[in-house]
Structure 1
Amino acid sequence: MATILAIDADALPVDPLWLVQRLRDGHRQGVGEVERLLLQEPGAENSLLTWTAWQPGAALGAKLAAVFPGNEGRGAGPNIRSVIVLFDGQDGKPLAVITGESFTRAKTAADSALGADLLARPDAATLAVLGAGAQAQTQIRYLLAVRPSIRRVAIWNRTVEKARALATSLSVPDIEIGAVEDAETAVRDADIVSCVTASRDPVLLGSWLKPGAHVDLVGSFIPEMREADDAAMRRARLFVDTRRFAVGHCGEFTQAIAAGVITADDVVAELAELCTGTPGRRSAEEITLFKNAGGGHLDLMVARAVYDLAAGRA
């Protein structure tokens, strides 16, 4: 029987720019088949997400993610825990079982970073991060990697102490990192705004966005969740990682479409199209918005990269 690698992603150092490039290459190779199953605990906000994907001839796999949004707030560990199983695309043999909280964090951050690399202004100097949970630190690291022009990071969180703690924990040469007490202050001067919350009400108002800003929405994955208001959706040119999951499942889109603010046709392109030549930003003054909705194809691409790294093939 073939050896199945047991990989702890937390013990595997991954270079952000390398992983972003692997995602870019994966999209150029073709997304393949993707499916999603969502189970929600009755009367609670807890969820079990199952992402499956198949890149024919290359690999197939599944990720199971238990999402418990209240964990971090009550000291019960991370909000998201996951297990990924990777299979060979030639004969179906299992190759690896991947655990570790850093897997989903790195996948999520790389997805956003690739979107920002394709859409944000190349001279972006200020990053605003709304949310200071476990994802925020990885998000900052990956966005700084693709935009080394950034010189200031402003962090906001509903509990300002968490924002201050995150800012204190980060130290990057020549970059000012600090907490702010209100979201508007963080956003007004920002060239990139990354929202990493589990909010059901908008934390980002479109009226705060300056011309040329790039918005990165991460948190929502069901119709009842949203991080940006209708004005942000109306003002921005809209991009997604995957149309199917962003438009069909994420509250920024489902609610704005239901209200007649936008239509599904307002989505200019998804990530695979941007990676294969569809133009993104058209001017320095344009506001772009990228919805990071996830998808099993992203998990599969990252699983393949992690497997290659652990097997000494990277």
Structure 2
Amino acid sequence: MDKIIQIDDHFIEKNTHFPELIKQLKYNFSDRKVMVPLRHHHDFPNPTTNKDSTLLLMPAWNPGNDAGIKIATVSPDNGRFNLPSINGTYIYLNATKGTIKAILEAKALTVKRTAAASALASSYLSREDSNSLLMIGTGALSTNLIKAHASVRPIENVFVWGRDYKKAQNICNQLSDEAFTITPIKSIKEKISEVAIISSATLSESPLVLGKYLSAGQHIDLVGAYKKDMREADNDTILRASVFIDTYEGGLKESGDIVIPLENGIIQESDIKADLFELCSNTKNGRVNSKEITVFKSVGHALQDLTAASYYYKKYLNA
């Protein structure tokens, strides 16, 4: 049996070129050869924090080529232990032999593929001249979302908001050498009406993006709120926007941003314009005019993980 390769977060961080990863995601979403069952989503009690943790099992396979599964946990109160909320491992397999090709640390893999998917959606949904971005949230995803969006749009000005202003300042310090200007802000209201793109990646249980503040032509990228009782955008946002999701299987069932409006009759399933499979295969349109407000809701998909695992595996072999 071949030696199992270990690919750590450091390697993934140092060997990510977002345009390459986005291009590969676009190909796999349009090609439709990767087979993905609905992910296992299990909440379990966490008596130490009195807030449930979540176990996610995300398998995918490309018959005759490769396969894999991500095992991830989400523990919202991990900040008290000085640990990230999301932890996990990706097992990358030979789909013919069933042998393990590599084990990848899933933290960096997840944030990279998630950011790349949001940028891929933005390439269809945001205005081509989008030059400003508001980042809501200061977790591990924030720096990656900013860089990924900047790889597909001419971003010149970035604003960062977090519940902890010092964390927002830290994000800005980390990205101070990038081509864009980046500034921490103390309230979302300061900039939400002015920017071209709003990206939100939080564990908020109540809306942070309020439709009453939105302006014509904006694109809203909703990445957090991974459970049915969580929301990052209010009903007014959903009603004012053309809504797109990463996949129908997950997007219609897993996040409160879509589930709650559906259950309350605010929108119908038929109001969802398209998913990434349809956008990437050009079977449905993205943005149709410059004044349209668009929303993309991401819940994550195992195709993204398998795509990223293959991308980093090849990078490792060629290093």
Match of 1:206 among 205, 211, 228: 211
Alignment partner, residue 181 of structure 1:
186
Match of 1:45 among 48, 52, 64: 52
Could you tell me which runs of 5 or more consecutive residues in structure 1 were left unpaired when the two chains were aligned: none
Count of residue correspondences: 311
Displacement of 1:293 in angstroms is 0.8
Displacement of 1:106 in angstroms is 0.4
Alignment partner, residue 4 of structure 1:
4
SS of residue matched to 1:48: strand
Supply the distance in 2 between the matched residues of 1:213 and 1:84 (Cα, whole angstroms): 35
Asked if residue 303 in structure 1 is aligned to residue 305 in structure 2, the reply is: no
Q: More deviation in 41-50 or 103-112?
A: 41-50
Asked if residue 64 in structure 1 is aligned to residue 66 in structure 2, the reply is: no
C-alpha RMSD of the superposition = 1.5
Q: How is 1:89-104 mapped onto 2 (pairs within 5 angstroms)?
A: 89-99=95-105, 101-104=107-110
Q: How is 1:65-84 mapped onto 2 (pairs within 5 angstroms)?
A: 65-72=72-79, 74=80, 76-84=82-90
Alignment partner, residue 36 of structure 2:
33
Alignment partner, residue 219 of structure 1:
224
Could you tell me which runs of 5 or more consecutive residues in structure 2 were left unpaired when the two chains were aligned: none
Alignment partner, residue 240 of structure 2:
235
Match of 1:88 among 88, 94, 98: 94
- Pick closer, same or farther for the CA change 1:173–1:311 going to 2, 3 Å: closer
Supply the distance in 1 between the matched residues of 2:160 and 2:52 (Cα, whole angstroms): 25
Supply the distance in 2 between the matched residues of 1:281 and 1:100 (Cα, whole angstroms): 32
Displacement of 1:174 in angstroms is 4.6
Which amino acid letter does the alignment assign opposite residue 36 of structure 1? R
Supply the distance in 2 between the matched residues of 1:76 and 1:171 (Cα, whole angstroms): 24
| Conserved? CA contact 2:235–2:261, under 8 Å | yes
Supply the distance in 2 between the matched residues of 1:4 and 1:174 (Cα, whole angstroms): 38
Q: How is 1:257-272 mapped onto 2 (pairs within 5 angstroms)?
A: 257-272=262-277
Displacement of 1:75 in angstroms is 5.0
Match of 1:55 among 38, 56, 62: 62
Which amino acid letter does the alignment assign opposite residue 55 of structure 1? N
Match of 2:163 among 139, 154, 158: 158
SS of residue matched to 1:6: strand
| Conserved? CA contact 2:211–2:236, under 8 Å | yes
Which amino acid letter does the alignment assign opposite residue 244 of structure 1? E
SS of residue matched to 1:311: helix
- Pick closer, same or farther for the CA change 1:299–1:234 going to 2, 3 Å: same
Identical residues among aligned pairs (%): 31
TM-score normalised to the size of structure 2?
Answer: 0.93
TM-score normalised to the size of structure 1?
Answer: 0.95
- Pick closer, same or farther for the CA change 1:174–1:98 going to 2, 3 Å: closer
Which amino acid letter does the alignment assign opposite residue 47 of structure 1? T
Q: How is 1:279-290 mapped onto 2 (pairs within 5 angstroms)?
A: 279-290=285-296
| Conserved? CA contact 1:129–1:155, under 8 Å | yes
Which amino acid letter does the alignment assign opposite residue 283 of structure 1? N
Q: What does the per-residue CA deviation read over 1:153-177, in whole Å, with 9 as the maximum and x for residues that have no partner?
A: 0111122221122122221455221
Displacement of 1:227 in angstroms is 0.4
Supply the distance in 1 between the matched residues of 2:62 and 2:269 (Cα, whole angstroms): 26
Supply the distance in 2 between the matched residues of 1:9 and 1:24 (Cα, whole angstroms): 23
Which amino acid letter does the alignment assign opposite residue 71 of structure 2? L
SS of residue matched to 1:34: coil
Q: What does the per-residue CA deviation read over 1:182-228, in whole Å, with 9 as the maximum and x for residues that have no partner?
A: 11213110110000100010011011111110110000221011100
| Conserved? CA contact 2:90–2:106, under 8 Å | no
Q: How is 1:92-171 mapped onto 2 (pairs within 5 angstroms)?
A: 92-99=98-105, 101-147=107-153, 149-171=154-176
Q: What does the per-residue CA deviation read over 1:24-43, in whole Å, with 9 as the maximum and x for residues that have no partner?
A: 11112214232311222324
Match of 2:299 among 289, 293, 298: 293
SS of residue matched to 1:188: coil
SS of residue matched to 2:192: helix
Displacement of 1:265 in angstroms is 1.2
